[in-house]
């Protein structure tokens, strides 16, 4: 497709520029504006009205000279060179290396916008990814092909949790030669956090299984709109072309949505809630729905999307719309954090919708479904008793209630509060059984007799 170059722009407005009097421009076309010899900025055609072309510049419009600037249209949508060599590398949101190594050149390139997976080509998610964290693996298992967000609040240790997941995540078949990789897309990442992640990857030697795409907080926010796209394009390539099981982690979706709002306001779109555009649901879906398993390839894309709930409000449009698209959610809880429990995962409020299809015999272990059910209901009962104790005092509880309250305390202390250590699935399951010994046998209605004899350790007195 022929490239078209024009000089000058008609309007500069927020992250948008508007060029008039040109023809032959495509919707969604990729373009570059040349500031000077060294630097160019990349953009995308958002709308075309008669001879007015409305363009989003991903790196902002600051210092753009109205009449002198040259814009080159590429005659195609934005593409990303993809290759297995990307594993172990760090890029910005445009796919340019940030690690000082040469750029990726490959015969393979992909449109970053992707295309929806045909529901008849999908394979229903099964099997699991071990994160090494009991609250997830045992109680809210991450299933391959699933999409699940982490709902966090300002000041909660979500980056530490993400770091730990990146460090620990693995699949059981890695020993049999199945390939596993992590694609990490960070939007609006502060420099401190960037350094934290880089150091973590280097020190723990995890970098060789991670591809990182970064949009720093100091970069243009609009650039962050590209981060999930390039990250998932890479993830799809690795999964569906190279048979990798890919865990894609995106953080922080709230930053992404803020950028989306900024652009939509500049476009004068009618806002829906809190100024966010009405198409935010569709836009988020175009990210989250790129996870899955497809016929004809051995790989899978599993997605963890981290997002900060503004003011811990789960009904805010960003977590709310996300929750409608994703298959469950992991929720971090401030009161657990205040009690120095790490990771502060609220096991009861969290939910993995696909868990029932990904665990049990042939995947994790036969006793997993009933064990997690039993732990869940006992912990829920214990928390009810804790509420009761807040009203009438701990001493007023009867003996049975006391036992459940103690169980809830121990559950948080031992199971949830695991700290920065890796627990294998087996470890987590065994710890679960150990906890159950705190309860009288008659209360264990969700686990079978045979499971109990096989897995439950003898009571220690």
Partner 1 sequence: MTLIEESARIVSIKGSTVQAKGLSSYRMGEITYVGEERLIGEVIAIVHDTATVQVYEPLEGLRINDPLYPTGKSLSAELGPGLLSNIFDGIQRPLDNIKNISGSGFIERGIQTNALDRQQKWVFEPRKELKKGEIIKEGDVLGKVKETESITSSVLIPPGKSGELVEIMEKGEYTVSDTVAVYKNKSGSKAELTMMHEWPVRIARPYLNKLPVSGPLITGQRIVDMFFPISKGGTAAIPGGFGTGKTVLQHQLSKWSDANVVIYIGCGERGNEMTDVLREFPKLIDPHTNNPLMDRTLLIANVSNMPVAAREASIYMGITMAEYYRDQGYNVLLTADSTSRWAEALREISGQLEEMPVESGYPAYLGARLANFYERAGQVVALGSPYREGSINITAAVSPPGGDFSEPVTANTKRFVKTFWGLDPALANRKHFPSINWQNSYSGYIEEIEEWALETGLMDWGRYRQEMLKILQKDNELEHIVELIGSKALPADEQLIILIADIIKEGFLQQNAFHPIDTFCSIEKQMKMMNLILLFHERANILIKNGCPISLINSLRTVQILKMMKEEIRNEDLTQLNKIEDHIIFDMEELGSKYGYK
Of 49-57, 204-212, 245-253, 452-460, which part binds partner 1 (CB under 8 A)? 49-57
Total binding residues toward partner 1, as defined by CB under 8 A: 65
Footprint of partner 1 on 281-310 (CB under 8 A): 281-282, 285-286, 288-290, 292, 294-296
Round to the nearest angstrom and report the end-to-end CA distance of the chain.
78
Residue 452 as a binder of partner 1 (CB under 8 A): the answer is no
Residue 447 as a binder of partner 1 (CB under 8 A): the answer is no
| 3-class state of residue 207 by DSSP | helix
Q: C-beta of 209: minimal distance to partner 1 in Å?
A: 25
Q: Cα separation of 221 and 112, whole Å? A: 18
Q: What would the two tokens of residue 383 be? A: 């928390």
Beta-bridge partner residues of 17: 12, 55
Residue 402 as a binder of partner 1 (CB under 8 A): the answer is no
Footprint of partner 1 on 2-31 (CB under 8 A): 23-29
Q: C-beta of 13: minimal distance to partner 1 in Å?
A: 16
| 3-class state of residue 345 by DSSP | strand
Residue 354 as a binder of partner 1 (CB under 8 A): the answer is yes
Instruction: Indicate the DSSP class of residue 270.
Output: P
Residue 392 as a binder of partner 1 (CB under 8 A): the answer is yes
Of 155-163, 173-181, 266-274, 416-424, which part binds partner 1 (CB under 8 A)? 266-274
3-state secondary structure string across 236-262:
HHHHHHCCEEEEEEEECHHHHHHHHHH
Per-position DSSP letters for 75-105, written without gaps between them:
SS--EEE--GGGTT-EEETTS-BSSSSPPP-
Residue 106 as a binder of partner 1 (CB under 8 A): the answer is no
Residue 323 as a binder of partner 1 (CB under 8 A): the answer is yes
φ and ψ at residue 76, rounded to 5 degrees: -155, 170
Residue 270 as a binder of partner 1 (CB under 8 A): the answer is yes
Decide: 411 and 375 in contact? Cβ < 8 Å. yes
Q: Cα separation of 185 and 86, whole Å? A: 13
Residue 320 as a binder of partner 1 (CB under 8 A): the answer is yes
Q: C-beta of 87: minimal distance to partner 1 in Å?
A: 23
Among residues 14, 18, 20, 77, the one that binds partner 1 under rule CB under 8 A: 77
Q: Cα separation of 282 and 272, whole Å? A: 13
Q: Cα separation of 44 and 133, whole Å? A: 40
Q: C-beta of 323: minimal distance to partner 1 in Å?
A: 4
Among residues 172, 217, 351, 452, the one that binds partner 1 under rule CB under 8 A: 351
Among residues 100, 102, 119, 177, the one that binds partner 1 under rule CB under 8 A: 119
Among residues 11, 39, 101, 124, the one that binds partner 1 under rule CB under 8 A: 124
Q: What would the two tokens of residue 335 be? A: 């009161």
Q: Cα separation of 307 and 196, whole Å? A: 18
Q: C-beta of 196: minimal distance to partner 1 in Å?
A: 32
Residue 74 as a binder of partner 1 (CB under 8 A): the answer is no
Q: Cα separation of 390 and 230, whole Å? A: 50
Specify burial of residue 167 (Cβ count, 10 A radius: 0-12, 13-18, 19+). Answer: buried
Binding footprint of partner 1 on the chain (CB under 8 A): 23-29, 47-51, 77, 113-125, 145-146, 240, 269-273, 278-279, 281-282, 285-286, 288-290, 292, 294-296, 315-317, 320-321, 323-325, 327-329, 348-349, 351, 354, 356, 380, 392
């Amino acid at each position: 497709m022929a490239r078209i170059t024009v000089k000058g722009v008609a309007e500069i407005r927020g992250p948008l520029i508007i060029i008039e009097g040109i023809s032959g421009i495509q919707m969604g076309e990729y373009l570059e504006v040349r500031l000077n010899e060294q630097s160019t900025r990349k953009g995308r055609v958002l709308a075309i009205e008669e001879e007015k072309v409305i363009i989003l510049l991903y790196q902002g419009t600051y210092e753009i000279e109205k009449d002198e600037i040259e814009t080159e249209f590429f005659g195609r949508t934005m593409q990303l060179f993809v290759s297995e060599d990307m594993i172990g590398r760090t890029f910005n949101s445009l796919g340019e290396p940030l690690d000082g190594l040469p750029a990726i050149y490959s015969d393979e390139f992909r449109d970053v916008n992707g295309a929806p997976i045909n529901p008849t080509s999908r394979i229903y998610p099964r099997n699991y990814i071990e994160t090494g964290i009991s609250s997830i693996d045992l109680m809210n298992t991450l299933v391959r092909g699933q999409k699940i967000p982490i709902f966090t609040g300002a000041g909660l240790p979500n980056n530490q949790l993400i770091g730990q997941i990146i460090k620990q995540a693995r699949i059981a078949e890695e020993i049999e030669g199945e390939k596993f990789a992590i694609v990490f897309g960070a939007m609006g990442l502060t420099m401190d956090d960037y350094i934290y992640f880089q150091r973590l990857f280097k020190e723990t030697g995890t970098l060789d299984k991670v591809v990182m795409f970064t949009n720093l907080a100091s970069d243009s926010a609009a650039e962050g709109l590209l981060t999930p796209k390039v990250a998932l394009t890479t993830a799809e390539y690795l999964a569906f072309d190279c048979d990798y099981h890919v865990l894609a982690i995106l953080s922080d979706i709230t930053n992404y949505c803020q950028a989306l709002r900024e652009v939509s306001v500049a476009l004068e779109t009618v806002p829906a809630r809190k100024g966010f555009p009405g198409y935010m649901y569709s836009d988020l879906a175009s990210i989250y729905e790129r996870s899955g398993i497809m016929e004809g390839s051995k790989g899978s894309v599993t997605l963890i999307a981290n997002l900060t709930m503004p003011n811990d409000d789960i009904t805010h449009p960003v977590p709310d719309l996300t929750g409608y698209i994703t298959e469950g959610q992991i929720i971090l809880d401030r009161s657990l954090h205040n009690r120095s429990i790490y990771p502060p995962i609220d096991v009861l409020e969290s939910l993995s919708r696909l868990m029932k299809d990904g665990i049990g015999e042939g995947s994790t272990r036969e006793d997993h479904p009933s064990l997690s059910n039993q732990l869940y209901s006992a912990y829920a009962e214990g928390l009810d008793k804790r509420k009761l104790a807040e009203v009438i005092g701990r001493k007023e509880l009867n003996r049975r209630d006391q036992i459940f309250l103690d169980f809830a305390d121990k559950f948080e202390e031992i199971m949830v509060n695991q700290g920065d250590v890796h627990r294998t699935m087996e470890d987590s399951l065994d710890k679960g059984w150990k906890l159950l010994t705190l309860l009288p046998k008659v209360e264990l209605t969700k686990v079978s007799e045979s499971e109990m004899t096989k897995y439950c350790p003898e009571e220690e007195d």
